[in-house]
């Protein structure tokens, strides 16, 4: 969307750049995106960086995209299970979609996500790519 907000982007950088989740100190449940309170009732949550490798569970190729992604369309969007079991959704890059399939090993990469016009922000974040070239 045009004119994304600087404070919103800035405050989410730990998640966008390093996948900082929350882990419950009592029961160990991991939350990404982070939450304020665990389902077990505990509010003692610590920052926890998610593993950077996992496997692709499923993906879709999206052709009807929002205004931020017109230059990148189609987008390959997937659901990934990281080592340890936490699932994260995101863009799958550096792969021809017809060669992707569930189970493919993927890793986190750091990429440009949105360029907000000529004078706006350039925003970054995590994406996923297959570990082996497809």
Q: Is 104 exposed, middle or buried (0-12, 13-18, 19+ CB in 10 A)?
A: buried
Q: Which of 20, 53, 55, 69 binds another protein (CB under 8 A)?
A: 69
C-alpha to C-alpha distance for 69 and 127, rounded to whole angstroms:
14
CB 30 → another protein: shortest distance, Å?
9
Q: How many residues sit in the footprint of another protein (CB under 8 A)? A: 37
Question: Does 60 interact with another protein (rule: CB under 8 A)?
Answer: yes
Q: Which is nearer to another protein, 30 or 134 (CB)?
A: 30
Distances (CA, A) of 60 to 4, 41, 96, 98, 127: 26, 36, 12, 10, 15
Q: Which of 15, 107, 116, 121 binds another protein (CB under 8 A)?
A: 15
Q: Where are the alpha helices (DSSP H) in the chain?
A: 6-11, 13-18
* Residues in 86-105 at the binding interface with another protein, rule: CB under 8 A: 86-91
Question: Does 1 interact with another protein (rule: CB under 8 A)?
Answer: yes
């Amino acid at each position: 969307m045009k004119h994304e907000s600087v404070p919103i982007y800035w405050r989410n950088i730990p998640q966008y750049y390093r996948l900082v989740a929350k882990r419950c100190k009592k029961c160990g449940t991991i939350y990404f995106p982070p939450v304020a309170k665990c389902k077990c009732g505990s509010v003692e949550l610590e920052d926890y960086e998610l593993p950077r490798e996992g496997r692709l569970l499923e993906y879709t190729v999206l052709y009807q995209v929002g205004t931020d992604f017109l230059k990148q369309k189609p987008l390959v969007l997937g659901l990934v299970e990281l080592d340890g079991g936490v699932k994260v959704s995101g863009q799958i890059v550096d792969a021809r979609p017809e060669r992707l399939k569930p189970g493919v090993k993927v890793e986190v990469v750091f990429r440009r996500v949105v360029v907000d016009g000529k004078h706006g922000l350039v925003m970054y974040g995590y994406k996923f790519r297959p570990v082996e070239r497809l």
